[in-house]
């Protein structure tokens, strides 16, 4: 089936979908019911930067059925261009909303990614919160790549026949993985959710709601994991502003 088309706003070459949380979940439900085979990229600012630097990665992101605005700067940019209904559509929030819907409608879920103990805790918490939630399998891939292992996992996912495959490998790895295997998996929707497994399981602290609404989650996460995230946020944010200004200049110059 052809890729579904959604309205989008172009941010540095990335087609960020004009959605909010209720609309995104409504669309995903429609894909499940119609058995579309597609994937969803959840786009923070770092994805825009990485996509700007790699044409191949940008193509992978733009081939997604939906690219949700995770970072608040993307929401503000979309609103400034006349898309007033756009709101932050965050991986953890998408997961919670779809699990709530699934507990009533019976959609089946599979977890791919995260550490085994994190997935254990995640499944326990979600099933306790959403009675009747059907989690049909999970797999925590090893750090080293193993083709035979991957083949076995693909077969197990297909046997489990989930409606939603949650992929938590971090970007850009999870986006490449979804694009590579979407045609070999009998799954209507794959959703790349980054650190959502860690946040929802309690393995990592989540920024307070007010910081998320103000666009300061990056600062909270940087304070929690400075060694791992300093380059993404300190250098990446500067690069993002530079690319925005550069693109704006080029648009005005062409006019």
Q: Are residues 49 and 84 in the same domain?
A: yes
Assign 85 to helix, strand or coil.
coil
The number of angstroms, rounded, from the C-alpha of 171 to the middle of its chain's C-alpha atoms is: 8
Residue 78: inside a domain, yes or no? yes
Q: How many CA atoms lie within 13 A of 50 on its CB side?
A: 20
Q: Are residues 39 and 141 in the same domain?
A: yes
The pLDDT of residue 234 is 87
Residue 2: inside a domain, yes or no? no
DSSP state of 185: S
Average pLDDT per block of 10 residues along the chain, 255 residues long: 76 97 97 94 96 96 97 95 95 97 97 96 97 96 65 94 97 96 95 95 89 86 87 88 83 61
The pLDDT of residue 12 is 94
Whether the CB-CB separation of 244 and 12 falls below 8 Å is answered with: yes
Encoding tokens for residue 66?
A: 């939906």
Query: Rounded distance, CA 193 to CA 167, Å?
Result: 6
The pLDDT of residue 143 is 64
Q: Are residues 197 and 234 in the same domain?
A: no
Q: Are residues 93 and 152 in the same domain?
A: yes
Encoding tokens for residue 61?
A: 């992101």
The domain in which residue 233 lies consists of 215-254
DSSP states of 14-60: EEEE---HHHHHHHHHHHHHHT--EEEEEE-HHHHHHHHH-HHHHHH
Tell if the pTM clears 0.85, that is, is over it.
yes
DSSP state of 74: H
Q: Are residues 65 and 185 in the same domain?
A: yes
Q: Are residues 154 and 249 in the same domain?
A: no
Q: Are residues 71 and 108 in the same domain?
A: yes
Tell me whether strands 66-69 and 8-11 are parallel, antiparallel or unpaired: unpaired
Helix, strand, coil in percent for the chain, rounding step 5: 55, 15, 30
Rg of the chain over CA atoms, in angstroms?
18
Encoding tokens for residue 95?
A: 């997961």
Could you tell me which of 164, 174, 171 has the C-alpha nearest to residue 31? 164
Task: Find the CATH number of the domain harbouring 78.
Answer: 3.40.50
The pLDDT of residue 232 is 84
The pLDDT of residue 153 is 92
The pLDDT of residue 252 is 63
């Amino acid at each position: 089936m052809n890729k579904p088309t959604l309205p989008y706003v172009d941010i540095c070459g990335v087609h960020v979908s004009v959605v909010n949380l209720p609309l995104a979940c409504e669309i995903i439900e429609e894909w499940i019911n119609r058995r579309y085979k597609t994937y969803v990229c959840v786009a923070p600012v770092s994805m825009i930067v990485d996509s700007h630097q790699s044409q191949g990665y940008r193509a992978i992101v733009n081939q997604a059925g939906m690219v949700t605005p995770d970072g608040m700067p993307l929401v503000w940019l979309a609103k400034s261009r006349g898309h007033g209904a756009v709101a932050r559509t965050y991986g953890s929030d998408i997961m919670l909303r779809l699990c709530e819907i699934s507990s009533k409608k019976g959609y089946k879920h599979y977890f791919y990614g995260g550490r085994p103990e994190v997935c254990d805790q995640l499944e326990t918490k979600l099933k306790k919160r959403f009675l009747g939630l059907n989690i049909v399998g999970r797999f925590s891939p090893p750090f080293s790549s193993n083709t035979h292992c991957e083949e076995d996992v693909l077969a197990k996912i297909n046997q489990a026949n989930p409606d939603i495959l949650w992929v938590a490998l971090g970007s850009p790895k999870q986006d490449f993985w979804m694009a590579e295997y979407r045609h070999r998996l009998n799954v209507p929707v794959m959703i790349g959710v980054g650190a959502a497994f860690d946040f929802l399981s309690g393995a990592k602290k989540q920024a307070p709601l007010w910081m998320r609404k103000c666009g300061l989650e990056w600062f909270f996460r940087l304070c929690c994991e400075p060694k791992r995230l300093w380059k993404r946020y300190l250098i990446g944010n500067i690069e993002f502003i530079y690319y925005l200004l550069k693109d704006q200049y080029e648009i005005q110059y062409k006019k």
